[in-house]
Amino acid sequence: MSLPTAILIEPDPVLRRLLQHHFSDRWLAYGAANACLAVPLFQSFRPDVVITEADLPFVNGIAVCDILKDRFPASAILVMARDVGALPLALRFGADAVLAKPVVPRRLEQIARELLHSRTGTGERSAAARSRPCPHCTGGSAVRVLRGTDRRAEYVACGTCVRVWSEGTSHGRRRTDREIPA
């Protein structure tokens, strides 16, 4: 059985090397500082999973989603961002999952594995992909914004109406539908 391939696009060289090192045991992991440097990697390795930062120099991570969905539909795309307001836009442009920073490498790998297993050979999301109808718009699909850490509260984002809201528990109480300004 061959190892899955991951391309990590991260402008911070320390974080990029840390993630590459963490992934190297169970993945063929390649890193690039920006999308322009990642293009030859996409063409050479046809990645199973692409992990990109939303805020990249030259071409941002959201444009990367749009380009990859056209050229490499079988690749799963995970977008990371410090600003959760950018994440619904990533969903609109084809990201399969979004992740709020800071990131713990073990958690990132777990999410990448889930993405890998939730994909079918045609590049479509399988029924295992977690989404539900958006409560704010008709026809939208709300997707969890995964946390890079193991915090209890989570954000939910809709790529159709470009909203992010908070859900989950906080100190034992249930919080629902508090909209986060984008």
Residue 175 has pLDDT above 70, yes or no: no
Q: What is the DSSP string of the chain?
A: -PPPEEEEE-S-HHHHHHHHHHHTTTSEEEEESSHHHHHHHHHHH--SEEEEESS-SSS-HHHHHHHHHHH-TTSEEEEEESSGGGHHHHHHTT-SEEEESS--HHHHHHHHHHHHHHB-TTS-B-TTS--EE-SSSSS-EEEEEEESS--S-EEEEETTTTEEEEEEEETTEEEEEEEEP-
Among residues 129, 9, 145, 4, the alpha carbon closest in space to that of 64 is found at: 9
Cα–Cα distance between 177 and 38 in angstroms, integer? 37
The per-residue pLDDT for range 17-60, each reduced to its tens digit, is 999 999 999 999 999 999 889 989 998 999 999 999 998 888 88
Res. 166 pLDDT band, cuts 50 70 90: low
Domains in the chain, please, with CATH? 5-122+129-180 (3.40.50.2300)
Query: Model's pTM, two decimal places?
Result: 0.71
Q: What is the structure's pLDDT at 96?
A: 86
Average pLDDT over residues 80-90: 82
Cα–Cα distance between 60 and 171 in angstroms, integer? 36
Please report, as a single letter, which amino acid is at residue 16. R
Please report, as a single letter, which amino acid is at residue 176. T
Res. 124 pLDDT band, cuts 50 70 90: very low
Cis before 102 (ω within 30): yes
